[in-house]
Amino acid sequence: MAKKFDIPIIYASPFISKMRSSFATDDPRRQDLSPRIIGGSSLRFKLPRFFGFCYGVQNAIEIAYKAIEKSGGSSVYLISEIIHNHRVNSELAALGVKFLQDTSGKQLVDYKDLRPSDTVIVPAFGAPIKVLKEIEARGIDIKTFDGTCPFVEKVWRRAVELGGRGYTILIHGKFNHEETRATFSRAAQSAPTLVILNLSEAEILADFILGKISLAKVTEKFNGKHSDNFDFQRDLNKVGVVNQTTMLASETAEIGEFLEGAYRSRFGSNNIREHFADFRDTLCYATYENQEAARALIESGGDLALVIGGYNSSNTSHLVEMCEVKYPTYYIQDDSEILSQERIRHYKFRDSKLVYSDGWLPKNLSKPLEILVTAGASCPDALIERVIEKIGSFFNFSAEEIFSSRIYN
């Protein structure tokens, strides 16, 4: 039975909770990825089998609110954002929680201002070892309210285990992301460590491994993205791949398979595991399921896609990437971005800017308008409901009317 988390009702939606329950009842083995279709004769929404809050996010939120409840009036700090959702972080700030760092790692509160009686919460991404030691040095317990996602911790254990067996660690992730910084700090303690952003960077690394490019070129490309004293000629003979859990699982697999191919070409297949470790057991199941469900949603057809989530959310941006290949796609953080039936404000994550689009909802279709809706792992059900309810109001549908209907293909 899935764990029931104690999180504030403000993040909940009875409609979506009921939908999730029906998914579980209809498909207890979690094998059917076909989307649920709700709506009416003129407007239909398609929602994927998996979307929104994941286990790690719910766990972190529950821990944060327990920390506030048990603080006894002492100051409560978060090392950085608890998750990448502005609404959740704003709610915590309104309750008096202060942030020690911003998402880039910039210090907002000096460690010397901390007192042993203060409460410090570790966010879902975890935190670098150096940061935790700074806090512990002030006499503060950082274990009681540790919201680190268990699947992130699994990646850490795998990195340390690989390092202990003599492998260099390759992290598929965004170098400045909180989770990758936390993973890097642990991996680098046990082994030479390098961060790879995407397949293009993996190709550059492979070209060096196969002797196709110079040491100077590969050193320049990965400058600042590796552990101290990393030696490209020495440290790439034996490697293992782990990932930032919010990256595209399919991309991690693609990078791993590509690099494994390069190592087979260099060292042969007979002793490949002496040079390249199996990487498949570090992928986060929640990220993978959300992305596979989004893939099935995209394949089901529709007129446009809405992706809901924080604008600094890595896993949400990857859902946008998937959707925009086939549909006009709008990345929004909540219903406030839907300005009218004619106009929407949405985020262009590649350019890091908000833009406005007019005429975003198609008109005069010869069939019901079909909107694909999905959400990042840090997006509360309540925000998803409000988005659907707001669009429904343009067509004179209430949320209850929309969610109570169930349409089959």
Give the Cα separation of 133 and 140 in Å (integer).
10
278: its two tokens: 């199996």
Q: Looking only at Cα atoms, what is the longest distance across the chain?
A: 67
Residue 136 annotated in active site: no
3-state secondary structure of 299: helix
CA proximity to 55, closest of 5, 106, 102, 114 = 5
284: its two tokens: 């986060």
The DSSP code for 175 is: T
CA proximity to 380, closest of 319, 316, 308, 294 = 308
CA 237 to chain centre: 31
CA proximity to 177, closest of 110, 130, 127 = 127
Give the Cα separation of 127 and 83 in Å (integer).
12
Say what angle helices 199-209 and 249-267 make with each other, to 10 degrees.
10
Give the Cα separation of 66 and 106 in Å (integer).
26
Tokens 């509360």 belong to 380
Instruction: At 167, give phi and psi (nearest 5°).
Output: -85, 140
Instruction: At 302, give phi and psi (nearest 5°).
Output: 170, -175
Q: CA quadruple 188, 123, 103, 85: dihedral positive or negative?
A: positive
DSSP codes of every residue in 8-26:
-GGG--HHHHHHHHHHHHH
Q: In what order do the strands lie in the sheet with 168-172?
A: 193-196, 168-172, 239-243
Identify the active-site residue in 81, 91, 178, 179. Answer: 179
Tell me, what amino acid is at 274?
E
**Residues designated catalytic:** 179
